[in-house]
Chain A
Amino acid sequence: MLHPLPHSPSYIDPVVSIESLTGGYNGELVLESVDLTISHGDFVGLVGPSGSGKTSLLKAILGTLDVYDGRVLVNGVDASVRRPRVGYVPQLETIDWNFPVTVEEVVMMGCTMNSPLFPWVTGLQRKSAARMMEHLGISALAKRHISDLSGGQQQRIFLARALVGNQAIVLLDEPTSGVDIKTRDDIMHLLHELNHQGITVIMTTHEINSVAAHLPRVVCLNGRIIADGPPSKVLTTEILTETYGGPMPVIHHNGMAIVVERPHRFGYHARKGEDQDSAGLEHQDIV
């Protein structure tokens, strides 16, 4: 829907393999026996309620979650032993937009650990940053302060930072939250394009209908993995109800699964209509 060409993961070489991972923070479990294999060229969407461990799973792939059992391999190497070469795009809501940095400086941060104790950026790094900004269409903005940009452009800055070291895997935490529909589609197009160039994309999202339904692969998470597969198999009433712990009716329309948002009923009428809960939905539509 978002991109005309199908993606083509090669299922022979897993780039990320999570093997019965149990992990969390300060002894508190967040993820329990998670098994997940991600192949080169995959495009995966993680969905699940707040606090279900989506961000934590991304951290596990980056090797910064406390692992209590199992292991995480990135390109065959344990992530907690050697920091994997994986790009990370944080949620834009967590950024301090008042901080005095330009677009270029943020992109350059992606090379920080290539030469940590060298104050200048090398010519090579500058060139690769320029190339990445060009590629993502933000080179004209290089000298601007980060707050002077639109939501889509801001997302591109952090995507450029994540990819500037030629990373083949990129993790994005809710890249489409808090932007308008047009920007969201632009971002998703860009990610699909990058995916077609061979970059493995793993992202979290709360938008099932508009984002997750269009991805090639969706993983439902709630402390453990509830389901994993193409959206047509995964986005069903049973699976989503189990994932979110509440009724999530799904209907199919033109071969597309759509989660139906139930009307909120408050006050007097809510009490009256309590017995006909899934009112308004035709039963044969619900999968």
Chain B
Amino acid sequence: MFEPFHYEFFVNGIVAAGLAGALTGLVGVYIVLRKMAYIGHGLSHAIFGGAVVSFVMSINFFVGASVWGVFSALLITVTARKRTIGADAAIGIVTTASFALGIAIISKYKTFTRSFDAALFGNVLGVSDGDVLALALVLSVTVCTIFVGYKLFLFTAFDSEVGRLYGVPTGWVDIMFSLILAATIVVSMQVLGVTLIAANVVIPPIIARMITNSFKRMLLLSTIVGSSCGIVGIYLSYYIDVSSGATIVLVGSTLFVLALMYNIIQARRHRIWSHFRKKPAITRIPFSSGKL
């Protein structure tokens, strides 16, 4: 049971997974409520291209991926705000092209394939102290930002158009969040895998939303759910020898199904109970009386 904890890499991996899960869960609340899930998907794919290119050009991974991530995040947010026809198509093309570029480079130089398996699908092995540190740093900055700008985030997520009429700088809030999302993707790529990060951004908030009606509690719950999925998932990944990104998403999906069943049972029990309660008398007005 505790055997894997003797390995340092595993301790690193499990801490990283817990942090990455918490981070994606927290950021995901805004992304999901603001209906920006597609940005998570696009951005993660775009950043993968940047990561591979920076690897080929032997630039530090974090630096290369971050620069590319910030650039794509700004581009996507500004384009998405225009809401002209073709904006989302343009985002789709640019981000998948970036992803394809990364894949093309990897398959050209076969020697990379192994080291990029982790970036694509996530891997417990090879999580360094630096990765854990970067995750901890981004998580603390994110928590502080959300704490300080709490009211601005709440209003923008609830109704950005009216928020703007109330003076909320909704454009800046959106840009801030896509930058946070970009940073999240860059630092959790190693554990969650680019192809599966988007799922980790979406699943914990949805589970949290099914359990609570409060924004504050949703932030907290989603963070906890994300973190737990990360920890349980990576543990499983070690035992069944499957990429960690996949096991984490599968654990999240299982939790989602459980939450769904809980909701259905709750609703049904409610109905059964109300069935036994005394029914109010219904005043019937006969149709045939002709006059009232």
**A-to-B contact residues, CB < 8 Å:** 59, 62, 64, 83, 88, 90, 94-96, 99-102, 105-106, 108-110, 112-113, 116-119, 121, 145
Pairwise interchain contact B213-A102, C-beta atoms closer than 8 A: yes
Residue from A110, A119, A121, A145 within 8 A of B166 (CB atoms): A110
- A-B residue pair count with CB separations less than 8 angstroms: 69
**B-to-A contact residues, CB < 8 Å:** 33, 147-152, 154-155, 157-159, 161-168, 209, 212-215, 218
Chain B interface secondary structure, helix, strand, loop or mixed?
helix
Pairwise interchain contact B33-A109, C-beta atoms closer than 8 A: no
Top-5 shortest CB links A-B: A113-B167, A119-B150, A145-B213, A83-B167, A112-B151
Q: How far apart sit A83 and B165, CA to CA, in the bound complex (Å)?
A: 9
Q: How far apart sit A83 and B167, CA to CA, in the bound complex (Å)?
A: 7
Contacts of B212 in A (CB 8 A): 100
Which of A62, A109, A121 counts the most chain B CB atoms within 10 A? A109
Q: How far apart sit A64 and B161, CA to CA, in the bound complex (Å)?
A: 10
Residue from B33, B161, B166 within 8 A of A113 (CB atoms): B166
Pairwise interchain contact A101-B147, C-beta atoms closer than 8 A: no
Residues A102 and B214 in contact in the complex (CB < 8 Å), given A109-B155, A116-B152, A117-B148: yes
Pairwise interchain contact A116-B151, C-beta atoms closer than 8 A: yes
Pairwise interchain contact A112-B213, C-beta atoms closer than 8 A: no
CB distance from A66 to the nearest CB of B (A): 13
Contacts of B155 in A (CB 8 A): 109, 112
CB distance from A142 to the nearest CB of B (A): 13
Pairwise interchain contact B165-A62, C-beta atoms closer than 8 A: yes
Pairwise interchain contact A117-B149, C-beta atoms closer than 8 A: yes
Contacts of A118 in B (CB 8 A): 151
Pairwise interchain contact A101-B215, C-beta atoms closer than 8 A: yes
Task: Closest A residue to B158 by CB, please name it.
Answer: A99
Residue from B149, B152, B154, B165 within 8 A of A64 (CB atoms): B165
Residue from B33, B147, B159, B215 within 8 A of A105 (CB atoms): B215
